[in-house]
Amino acid sequence: MKKIISPQKKTTRLILHVLSPLLVGLMLSIVMMRAPSVEAQRYSDWSTPVNLGATINSASNDQDAAISKDGLSLYFASNRPGGFGGFDMYVSQRASTDDPWGSPVNLGPTVNTAFDEGNAAFSRDEHSMFFQSKRPGGFGGIDIWVSQREQTHDDFDWQPAINLGPGVNSVADDNGPTYFENDHGDAPQLYFGSTRAGGLGGADIYISEQLADGSFGPAIAVTELSSPLNENRPTIRHDGLEIFFHSNRAGSIAATFDLWVATRASTRDAWANPLNVGDAINTAFQEQQGYLSSDNQTLLFSSSRPGGFGGLDLYVSTRTKLRGD
């Protein structure tokens, strides 16, 4: 016998049929609004910078800081007496992140030469160290080189450096590298500064993609980060959505080098207009050569502000992640 459905039940079923997709859509919208996104990650303001002290800084220029992923090795360049050339690279170690830094040690003749070396930057696995050098065998005044090591916890295991080649280096100065490895499957990229012809200013920011064979492709200007003046030493956040660099562009305090920052919504988007990091970090003196730690919460940089030990000293500022509402 055929079951008879009342008109009331038919009406109820019709309403549910119409409303169900709308309710599901509304629930998904609420979930998406509440779900945190990578690009929405927020941080506190930067803390008041602290001089790294007399153990690290000297009466000479101490600059170009970089820090290991575990926070236990601090690399920097200095023209202090006792090195192999003008600027050499040094490393200071500590037993834990709560311990003070130990006395800096020169990285030795495998890395340093009678010429200038500096601005170290590490690959994510810390087997590779990119840096700049004026040594012979390059393409111009300053070139970018890379050294490899087998033991990532051995700061003296670095092997002889290899020039990154004509995709990155030019007859001009090419320096201040940072190596970005994209989590979304795109090729690794090297950001750096260059004074090559054809840019917007004295030094501009460029990008080169690493090819499948390990070499680097032709460098392309990152015009949204560059200006008619000077930009250099980019340092990029782990997710590729925030980048710091130094510049003396319009808007800098006292027309000296300041630290600037730019963000973007995704790694395939253009960078937004750069913003001055602000007077919590910048002064009327030089602030330059920033380096962002792998956890994105420590910013190392050099400054000529009063109260230091020499021409340029190394400083550190920190920030914390903010919880979502």
Q: What is the CATH number of the domain that holds 88?
A: 2.120.10.30
Residue 323 confidence (pLDDT): 82
Residue 9 confidence (pLDDT): 45
Q: Is residue 227 domain-resident?
A: yes
The SS3 call for residue 149 is: coil
Helix, strand, coil abundance in the chain, percent, nearest 5: 10, 35, 55
How many Å apart are CA 232 and CA 260, to the nearest integer?
A: 10
Same structural domain, 11 and 158: no
Other beta carbons less than 10 A from residue 265's beta carbon: 13
- Provide the Cα torsion 124, 230, 194, 143; round to 10°: -80
Q: Is residue 84 domain-resident?
A: yes
31: DSSP letter: H
Same structural domain, 26 and 79: no
Report the candidate in 170, 161, 211, 173 with the shortest Cα–Cα distance to residue 190. Answer: 211
Q: Is residue 47 domain-resident?
A: yes
Tallying the residues shown for the chain, one arrives at 325
Same structural domain, 31 and 46: no
Same structural domain, 236 and 130: yes
Question: E-strand spans in 73-173?
Answer: 73-78, 88-93, 105-106, 117-122, 128-133, 143-148, 162-163
Total count of domains within the chain? 2
Q: Cβ neighbours of residue 138 under 8 Å, at least 6 residues apart?
A: 145, 163, 169
- Domain region containing 12: 1-35
212: DSSP letter: T
Q: Is residue 172 domain-resident?
A: yes
Same structural domain, 30 and 167: no
Same structural domain, 48 and 128: yes
Report the candidate in 305, 322, 245 with the shortest Cα–Cα distance to residue 49. Answer: 305
Q: Cβ neighbours of residue 323 under 8 Å, at least 6 residues apart?
A: none
The strand order across the sheet containing 88-93 reads 62-67, 73-78, 88-93, 105-106
Q: Is residue 176 domain-resident?
A: yes
| Phi, psi angle pair for 314, to nearest 5° | -95, 135
Same structural domain, 57 and 27: no
Q: Is residue 262 domain-resident?
A: yes
Same structural domain, 104 and 29: no
Could you tell me the CA-to-CA distances from 270 to 15, 159, 223, 267 in Å, in that order?
46, 36, 10, 8
Same structural domain, 215 and 274: yes
Same structural domain, 6 and 149: no
Same structural domain, 24 and 166: no
Residue 12 confidence (pLDDT): 43
Q: Cβ neighbours of residue 20 under 8 Å, at least 6 residues apart?
A: none
Same structural domain, 53 and 78: yes
CB 67 within 8 A of CB 292: no
Q: Is residue 325 domain-resident?
A: no
pLDDT in tens for each of the 325 residues of the chain?
444 444 454 444 433 444 444 443 433 333 333 323 334 468 999 999 999 999 999 999 999 999 999 999 999 999 999 999 899 999 999 999 999 999 999 999 999 999 999 999 999 999 999 999 999 999 989 999 999 999 999 999 999 999 999 999 999 999 999 999 988 778 999 999 999 999 998 999 999 999 999 999 999 999 999 999 999 999 999 999 999 999 999 999 998 999 999 999 999 999 999 999 999 999 999 999 999 999 999 999 999 999 999 899 999 999 999 986 4
Q: Is residue 323 domain-resident?
A: no
